[in-house]
């Protein structure tokens, strides 16, 4: 049977969260929740945030005009309205948009005889700035995420176990397709395998570190040309007691993680891939 992957070849984690009861925790970190949403939902929330704000304040401007009797003195030049040339809900809605976006066409203007309108103007200006900062910040962070940069970091489709300098090593290759470099690049490898402890506890997805040069500094990469990453199979390696036949029968997954800063933006980038047991070739 084909084993289900823990991490896909393109780096996506094949894990679904279920039975999450404390969903309010997502709302306590609403900024990250909005950034993590899919693009169609982010754009919908972006549009609704502005549209509902304009409608809400437009309704209040209309209520002020209606309660003061401005709508009953539309043709009376001796009457000083709260907002000049506001003759209904549509014009109140347009005035709300002009106020919050600071467009200022000059046709609808608030007068100084309306203290409640002045307070509302201040409130809408402050709240509008907060909405702008929050929504534009979300969209900027979402656009500038370095996820797409990871797609130009490629891993070999297979890993191999073979001799290198008379030592048995597990090796795979990584390369960068772009001319701009990954600064402070580092590589890690994890062995994902079921495990049973000496006390009888079963751990379905146990993670074990595979040394790829942490002690010697070889895990720090100068990724200008494709590099071969090597894990020496010695006494400390989890593959020390594994034979070729057992390797073909075992059910495990090797997850490799490449991290570094994007030279162009200075943002941290992470690329992931994995190798199943049948993707590790002997010799």
Give the CATH number, domain containing residue 205.
2.60.40.1400
Domain shared by 133 and 177, yes or no: no
Domain shared by 155 and 271, yes or no: yes
Cα separation, 200 vs 236, in Å, equals: 23
Q: Is residue 248 part of a domain?
A: yes
**pLDDT category, 51, cuts 50, 70, 90?**
very high
Domain shared by 83 and 154, yes or no: no
Give the Å distances, CA to CA, from 129 to 118, 144, 228, 266: 17, 22, 51, 28
Cα separation, 196 vs 190, in Å, equals: 18
- Residue-wise pLDDT for 130-169, tens only, equals 999 999 998 888 887 777 778 889 999 999 999 998 899 9
Domain that holds residue 259: 148-282
Give the CATH number, domain containing residue 50.
1.10.287.70
What pLDDT is recorded for position 229?
94
% of the chain exceeding 90 in pLDDT: 42
Burial class of 72 by CB neighbour count within 10 A (0 to 12, 13 to 18, 19+): exposed
pTM value > 0.75: no
Of 144, 175, 197, the last residue of a domain is 144
Residue 193 CA from chain centroid, whole number: 28
Domain shared by 223 and 275, yes or no: yes
Residue scoring higher pLDDT (87 or 26): 87
Domain shared by 85 and 197, yes or no: no
Cα torsion 38, 43, 49, 51: sign: negative
Q: What is the mean pLDDT of residues 204-209?
A: 89
Domain shared by 155 and 75, yes or no: no
Residue 67 CA from chain centroid, whole number: 47
Q: Which residues pair with 89 in a beta bridge?
A: none
What pLDDT is recorded for position 2?
63
- Residue from 121, 126, 125, 134 nearest 49 by CA: 134
Q: Is residue 11 part of a domain?
A: no
Burial class of 168 by CB neighbour count within 10 A (0 to 12, 13 to 18, 19+): middle
- Residue-wise pLDDT for 5-24, tens only, equals 888 888 888 888 788 777 77
What pLDDT is recorded for position 33?
86
* 1, pLDDT greater than 70: no
- Residue-wise pLDDT for 245-282, tens only, equals 888 788 889 999 999 998 877 888 899 999 998 899 98
- Residue-wise pLDDT for 52-110, tens only, equals 999 999 999 999 999 988 888 888 888 889 988 888 999 999 999 999 988 878 888 89
What pLDDT is recorded for position 133?
92
Is residue 190 within 8 A of residue 208, CB to CB? The reply is yes
Cα separation, 110 vs 159, in Å, equals: 71
Cα separation, 97 vs 103, in Å, equals: 8
**pLDDT category, 242, cuts 50, 70, 90?**
confident
């Amino acid at each position: 049977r084909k084993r289900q992957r823990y991490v896909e070849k393109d780096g996506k984690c094949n894990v679904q969260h279920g039975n999450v009861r404390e969903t309010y925790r997502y709302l306590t970190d609403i900024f990250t929740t909005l950034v993590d949403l899919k693009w169609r939902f982010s754009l919908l929330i972006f549009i609704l945030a502005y549209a509902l704000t304009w409608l809400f304040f437009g309704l209040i401007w209309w209520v002020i005009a209606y309660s003061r009797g401005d709508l009953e003195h539309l043709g009376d030049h001796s009457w000083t309205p709260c907002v000049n040339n506001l003759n209904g809900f549509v014009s109140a809605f347009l005035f709300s948009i002009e106020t919050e976006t600071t467009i200022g066409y000059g046709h609808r203007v608030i007068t100084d005889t309306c203290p409640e309108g002045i307070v509302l103007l201040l409130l809408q200006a402050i709240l509008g700035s907060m909405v702008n900062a929050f929504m534009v910040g979300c969209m900027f962070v979402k656009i500038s995420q370095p996820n797409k940069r990871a797609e130009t970091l490629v891993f070999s489709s297979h890993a191999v176990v073979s001799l290198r300098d008379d030592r048995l090593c597990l090796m795979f290759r990584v390369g960068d397709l772009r001319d701009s470099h990954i600064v402070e690049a580092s590589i890690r490898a994890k062995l994902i395998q079921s495990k049973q402890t000496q006390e009888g506890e079963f751990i379905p997805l146990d993670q074990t570190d595979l040394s790829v040069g942490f002690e010697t500094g070889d895990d720090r990469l100068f990724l200008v040309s494709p590099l071969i990453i090597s894990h020496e199979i010695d006494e400390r390696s989890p593959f020390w007691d594994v034979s070729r036949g057992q390797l073909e029968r075992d059910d495990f997954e090797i997850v490799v993680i490449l991290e570094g800063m994007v030279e162009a933006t200075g943002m941290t980038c992470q690329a992931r891939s994995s190798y199943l047991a049948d993707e590790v070739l002997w010799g």
